[in-house]
A and B are shown apart, each in its own frame.
Chain A
Amino acid sequence: MTTWTSICHIEDIPRLGSRRVARPGRTDVAVFRTADDRVFAMLDRCPHKGGPLSQGIVFGDGVACPLHNWTINLIDGSARAPDVGCAQVFSVRVEAGQVSLDADELAAPDRALVRAE
């Protein structure tokens, strides 16, 4: 069974924006909120050269990386064509505005950076 760690209220994240969950010693997790109040979470590390995705511009269900403008799908973490690569996604639960992440996923060690050439 999934253990959910409560992170914040949805209003703590700006619409079409994101915040990050700090994990000292490991990469942060970026939490995004779309215009229609869906919430997604992803490792805060772009599959291209590790840019902090939490700092990107959110649109539709994608985020444009602040470093070189790759667009990463929030739903599955994949980079939009023609770029290739995938950011690690985290499960999110939103209940009565309360945003939670999967405790096990949060606790797991960083995966190696998948780098597209």
Chain B
Amino acid sequence: MDTQTVLEPGQTSDDFSASTRLKLVVIGNGMAGIRAVEELLKLAPDLYDIAVFGAEPHPNYNRILLSPVLSGEQTLEQIVLNPLQWYAEHGIRLHLGKTVVDVQRRQRVVIADDGTREPYDRLLIATGSNPFILPVPGTDLQGVISYRDIADTQAMIDAATRYKHAVVIGGGLLGLEAANGLAVRGMTVTVVHIAPWLMERQLDETAGKLLQQSLEARGLKFLIGAQTQALIADRDGRVMAVQFKDGSEIPADLVVMAAGIRPNTALAEKIGLHCSRGIVVNDTMQTITDPRIYSVGECAAHRGIAYGLVAPLFEQGKVAATHLAQFGIGRYTGSQTSTKLKVTGIDLFSAGNFTGGPDCEEIVMSDPYGGVYKKLVIQNDKLVGACMFGDTADGSWYFKLLRAGRPIGDIRDKLMFGEDNIGDSGHEGHSKAAAMPDDAEVCGCNGVTKGTICKAIKEKGLFTLDEVRKHTKASASCGSCTGLVEQLLMFTAGGDYSAAPTRKAMCGCTDHSHADVRQAIVEQRLLSIDEVYRALDWRTPNGCASCRPAVNYYLISSWPKEAVDDPQSRFINERGHANIQKDGTYSVIPRMWGGETSASELRRIADAVDKYRIPTVKVTGGQRIDLLGVKKEDLPAVWADIGMPSGHAYAKALRTVKTCVGSEWCRFGTQDSTQMGKDLERAMWRMYAPHKVKFAVSGCPRNCAEAGIKDVGIIGVDSGWEMYVAGNGGIKTEVAHFLVKLKTAEEVLEYTGAFCQLYREEGWYLERTVHYVSRVGLDHVKKKILDDAEGRKALWARLQFSLDGEPDPWFEFDKAQVDLRQFAPLATLKEDA
């Protein structure tokens, strides 16, 4: 019987001896299996004693990058993902070069070909797949290989130095990458492809033919529609020719079989696991036959699909890891995949249903001479497929739209011209990313160069945007370089990196997305952060600096006056009600309604500046005055002395309302924009929101208040007011959309309030209105605000209810829960202490 180990206080689980830990055995030292182990180590580093069997004599490497190795763009050393010392550091017993030949499921023991035995409590099968070998005579000859692993790649590289004629059977992704690599290495290469055009599973006919043309231009030859009948041997038993059904032959010193892959299920079948086009697993990646046994990767069949690209396999690995870690919350529900060919200089992208069909519409742009072709397939106002050749700069954007399932009605007319023309995020052409020199700066915020990013992607084996952000800080700040970083990932990490999944987890503390969390709060009437964390099985006891503020916001915006705000879950600016500066001092920006001030306000400000020796006084870009360099301990006194309301310049809340002088003074003014701005500001100040909110009101279309780049912009015209929404003047300047024309000031208040409340209820935390509206679509906003008068009034009423009685944190400390203790030190030591 096992002896029970009891943790003494102060003892950590590290002190457990390995023998008392659960045993995990992994069969298959490849991309999916080891990714699952990495995820597991992140979640529960000490839970398992881990052993890994790998038939290949190499540590886990990036199989995707075999193609750049073959074409000489990278070396084998560069593509290792987990060097041997990684296994050692994590106490993993690695059995290299050992093939598992049996598993005794009753005794729970794994047995390898050399007799090695490893007992297990949990088993993970990640044996990948085997190349499909055509059932024709001669496949066992020397010089006939497949394209799967380092050994194959090495064999091709060697063959290229000694032989002339290569024939690649199969014009799919793998076959073409092999063919290109061999041609680059100097061989004469013929690709034999039985289907009517290349990559028929990923490309439509037009794109397939364009691809063929451009490969032919690089010297590759094609036999399309040819059916291989036999491989012919020379006297020494080496292949010398390929023979076809019609009797014709072509010379071949090397034949590469790239006619597809089959899940490697031999071992699983032998030990009685149910297999059907792969080892059949459920949504937690456990085999349906034996719940102790998990399977991930190309060998696994989930809902009838065995995936052959890494992005879905990584998702599977993550789910298996959460289950192994005994969190058991993650579920794998299938993936959409996209394809890109890794042949330098050829841009090709395909995703989703690119062939279309009944009730699908197609938008096609075709310039065969220019070598550019794009097809977008649309069904029910959503993008469902994309197939592109020649210009794939927008591939990741289309893929994002496709996975998000966002309605595209409002951008349909510009969809084909790409993200640049929509302005969803800072986006640069693919060729630009590729052509950038290594020392060019990609991320201006953190000063990260292209070289640094590419190096980190290669050396650390990064696959996702999040990983790049974490390791290099590129795109981690303002995000405007996200498009560029994604492109660098695309061509550095290989064809498939996983772009942000649709249901992205909020942070590392949970698998739930922002949508899940808000929905649970609303539906289950959750009123505190603890309740949320309990109801949704949070992994961490009190979250982290990224989820806690978000959850806090969802609580107070969903249940105003019921959910209690938690200051400790707010960023310091919102806890101290001033903006922290780089030297640890603070800035104070009082509210100046509509940008208007008075002599007495200015006098009080001037006096406070003198009294508290405030080093800098600056006019902000938002028509107010900023006092910079205030010591934290002086804040309450400065607020009291200036006696003006909080400007919330520090908060995810209504900030400035810029106005122009308007009809009161201006010779062109048509409306009293200053008054309108003041009214709006007084009605909506203290409004917390997913992100900051800024308004502007101009008195005529000359628009001196720059209303066109504000969250809500109002422009006075002769007959009333025009209302614009979701503009942004910041990181990605975006012109606001025209929403509606209104007659009266009351209407302006109601519509603006309704729009703000809609954003408050539906926007994700830290999503500006520009991003919110581009996610849900302007049509959605119109439906809610323009078409539904009742709904609009209800939204406006809910906002007024939320704001009614909201305290000014600069004066009503108790009500606003301002912890005044923060302004004084706990204790002050003597100078000479």
A, B in one complex:
yes
A interface list, Cβ under 8 A from B: 7-8, 12-17, 19-25, 28, 31, 35-36, 49-52, 55-60, 62, 64, 66-67, 69, 71, 82, 106-107
Nearest CB on A from B241, distance (A): 54
Provide the residues of chain A in CB contact with B822, threshold 8 Å.
Answer: 19
For the complex, give the distance between the alpha carbons of A67 and B821 in Å.
21
For the complex, give the distance between the alpha carbons of A19 and B826 in Å.
6
The answer to whether A7 touches B826, judged by C-beta atoms less than 8 angstroms apart, is yes
At the interface, yes or no: B641 with Cβ under 8 Å from chain A? no
Provide the residues of chain A in CB contact with B830, threshold 8 Å.
Answer: 24
Nearest CB on B from A103, distance (A): 8
The answer to whether B541 touches A35, judged by C-beta atoms less than 8 angstroms apart, is yes
Nearest CB on A from B563, distance (A): 17
For the complex, give the distance between the alpha carbons of A19 and B568 in Å.
12
At the interface, yes or no: B297 with Cβ under 8 Å from chain A? no
The answer to whether A22 touches B542, judged by C-beta atoms less than 8 angstroms apart, is no
Chain B residues numbered 544-579 whose CB sits less than 8 Å from any CB in chain A:
544-545, 548-549, 568-572, 576
Q: Given A16-B542, A24-B831, A35-B541 in contact, is the A55-B576 Cβ separation under 8 Å? A: yes
The answer to whether B542 touches A82, judged by C-beta atoms less than 8 angstroms apart, is no
The answer to whether A55 touches B825, judged by C-beta atoms less than 8 angstroms apart, is no
Nearest CB on A from B813, distance (A): 14
The answer to whether A106 touches B826, judged by C-beta atoms less than 8 angstroms apart, is no
Provide the residues of chain B in CB contact with A71, threshold 8 Å.
Answer: 544-545
Q: Given A20-B825, A22-B827 in contact, is the A55-B572 Cβ separation under 8 Å? A: yes
Minimal Cβ-Cβ distance residue in B for A31: B826
Provide the residues of chain A in CB contact with B833, threshold 8 Å.
Answer: 23, 106-107
Provide the residues of chain B in CB contact with A12, threshold 8 Å.
Answer: 821, 826
The answer to whether A67 touches B540, judged by C-beta atoms less than 8 angstroms apart, is no
Nearest CB on A from B748, distance (A): 37
Nearest CB on B from A62, distance (A): 8
For the complex, give the distance between the alpha carbons of A55 and B635 in Å.
14
For the complex, give the distance between the alpha carbons of A67 and B576 in Å.
14
Provide the residues of chain A in CB contact with B470, threshold 8 Å.
Answer: 82
Nearest CB on B from A30, distance (A): 10
At the interface, yes or no: B345 with Cβ under 8 Å from chain A? no
Mark each residue of chain B from 628 to 649: 1 if its CB lies under 8 Å from any CB of chain A, else 0: 0000000000000000000000
For chain B, what secondary structure do more than half of its interface residues adopt (helix, strand, loop), or is it mixed?
loop
The answer to whether B826 touches A21, judged by C-beta atoms less than 8 angstroms apart, is yes
Chain B residues numbered 508-548 whose CB sits less than 8 Å from any CB in chain A:
540-545, 548
Provide the residues of chain B in CB contact with A82, threshold 8 Å.
Answer: 470-471
Q: Given A17-B568, A55-B576, A55-B584 in contact, is the A69-B825 Cβ separation under 8 Å? A: no
26 A-B contacts (beta carbon < 8 Å): A7-B827, A12-B821, A14-B568, A14-B821, A16-B568, A16-B569, A21-B825, A21-B826, A21-B829, A22-B825, A23-B829, A24-B830, A24-B831, A56-B572, A57-B569, A57-B570, A57-B571, A59-B540, A59-B543, A60-B540, A60-B542, A66-B571, A67-B582, A71-B545, A82-B470, A106-B829
Nearest CB on B from A19, distance (A): 4
Contacts A21-B828, A57-B545 known; 8 new A-B pairs at CB < 8 A: A8-B826, A12-B826, A22-B828, A55-B580, A56-B545, A57-B572, A59-B548, A67-B582
* Residue among B568, B569, B819, B821 having the largest count of chain A Cβ atoms under 10 Å: B568
Minimal Cβ-Cβ distance residue in A for B831: A24
For the complex, give the distance between the alpha carbons of A60 and B542 in Å.
6
Minimal Cβ-Cβ distance residue in B for A44: B584
Which 6 A-B pairs have CB atoms at the shortest separation, nearest pair first?
A64-B545, A22-B825, A57-B545, A55-B572, A19-B826, A22-B828
Q: Given A14-B819, A15-B568, A82-B471 in contact, is the A22-B829 Cβ separation under 8 Å? A: yes
Provide the residues of chain B in CB contact with A22, threshold 8 Å.
Answer: 825, 827-829
Provide the residues of chain B in CB contact with A106, threshold 8 Å.
Answer: 829, 833
For the complex, give the distance between the alpha carbons of A23 and B833 in Å.
8
Provide the residues of chain B in CB contact with A23, threshold 8 Å.
Answer: 828-829, 833
Provide the residues of chain B in CB contact with A69, threshold 8 Å.
Answer: 545
For the complex, give the distance between the alpha carbons of A105 and B827 in Å.
15
Minimal Cβ-Cβ distance residue in A for B476: A69
For the complex, give the distance between the alpha carbons of A58 and B569 in Å.
8
The answer to whether A57 touches B568, judged by C-beta atoms less than 8 angstroms apart, is yes
Provide the residues of chain A in CB contact with B569, threshold 8 Å.
Answer: 16, 57
Nearest CB on B from A26, distance (A): 9
Provide the residues of chain B in CB contact with A14, threshold 8 Å.
Answer: 568, 819, 821
For the complex, give the distance between the alpha carbons of A46 and B187 in Å.
58
Nearest CB on A from B711, distance (A): 25
Provide the residues of chain A in CB contact with B576, threshold 8 Å.
Answer: 55
The answer to whether A25 touches B826, judged by C-beta atoms less than 8 angstroms apart, is no
